Amino acid sequence: MSDLRELYQEVIIDHNRNPRNFHKMQDANKYAEGYNPLCGDQLNLFLKIAEDVIQEVSFEGSGCAISTASASLMTEALKGKTIQQAEALFNTVHGLLTKDEATDWDRLGKLVVLAGVKEFPARVKCATLAWHTLHSALTNQVIAASTE
């Protein structure tokens, strides 16, 4: 696991320093807010979806390095995916972070580094925040997403 740990640290540092797709989107047609009270992480997620495909995705907010990096990685992974693929990815990542069951490693691609968070159980909710927010944006829940 030492390779994963190194890669994890590299990727988290990189995406926290230089988050991808970190801006407000004026013409988004899906939106959700997420909040992780355990750490104080807060984020707003914007999606532009046309014909069931995610055309654009961006986020803004303030949070710890893990929540920011996870959101940044997520936005990179989502572009061009269908809603169904995005929901499947949510389930795969959520399973990876919260359960010990075998997961769909092929689907994860670069997101596999998030498995490194499992070594820090107190931070798992930081990593899942963006994904819960995605799930509520896609399912049109009006309540703010919470990791609780």
Helix axes 83-98, 124-138, angle to 10 degrees: 160
44-51 contacts, C-beta under 8 A, 24 or more apart? 45/71, 45/130, 45/133, 45/134, 45/137, 47/78, 47/134, 47/137, 47/138, 49/83
Instruction: Please identify, using beta-carbon distances, which residue of 67 and 92 lies nearer to Zn ion.
Output: 67
Is residue 16 involved in binding Zn ion (CB under 5 A)?
A: no
Instruction: Please identify, using beta-carbon distances, which residue of 43 and 54 lies nearer to Zn ion.
Output: 43
Site for Zn ion in 67-86 (CB under 5 A): 67
Q: How many Å apart are CA 82 and CA 114, to the nearest integer?
A: 22
Q: Which stretch binds Zn ion (CB under 5 A): 72-80, 107-115, 120-128, 140-148?
A: 120-128
- Cβ of residue 38: shortest distance to Zn ion, in angstroms? 7
Is residue 41 involved in binding Zn ion (CB under 5 A)?
A: yes
Q: Number of residues in contact with Zn ion, rule: CB under 5 A? A: 5
Which residue of 39, 53, 83, 108 would you call a contact of Zn ion, by CB under 5 A? 39
Q: Which stretch binds Zn ion (CB under 5 A): 24-32, 34-42, 103-111, 139-147?
A: 34-42
Strands, DSSP E only, in 16-106? 30-36, 41-50, 53-62
